[in-house]
């Protein structure tokens, strides 16, 4: 059976995954057009999203935690734009 991870820990791990995506090195050959690079970035951001996806529907979660989840979704979208679509 999978181990339950507290919501606060999920938020921390999601932010770490977003930072990993930002820090992932751009391949020198094809740059941001490298399909494996794009796949790795999208996978890291998907993992971050999946970690916090169900927190707002969980009973007993504070309003602050739900706000943190909204901020994480915004951070994920911003990271996606910054990493893959900026020059």
**Predicted TM-score of the model (pTM):** 0.89
CA neighbor of 37 nearest in space, from 22, 26, 49 = 26
CA neighbor of 24 nearest in space, from 54, 7, 48, 5 = 48
pLDDT tier for residue 87 given thresholds of 50, 70 and 90: low
| Cα(50)–Cα(72) distance, integer angstroms | 11
How many residues in total does the chain contain? 87
Q: How many CB atoms lie within 10 A of CB 64?
A: 8
pLDDT in tens, 22-50: 999 999 988 888 999 999 999 999 999 99
């Amino acid at each position: 059976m999978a181990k339950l991870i507290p919501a606060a820990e999920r938020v921390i791990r999601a932010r770490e995954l977003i930072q990993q995506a930002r820090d992932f090195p751009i391949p020198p050959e094809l740059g941001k057009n490298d399909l494996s690079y794009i796949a790795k970035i999208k996978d890291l951001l998907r993992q971050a999203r999946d970690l916090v996806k169900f927190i707002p529907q969980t009973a007993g979660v504070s309003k602050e935690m739900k706000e943190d989840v909204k901020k994480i979704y915004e951070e994920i979208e911003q990271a996606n734009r910054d990493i893959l679509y900026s020059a």
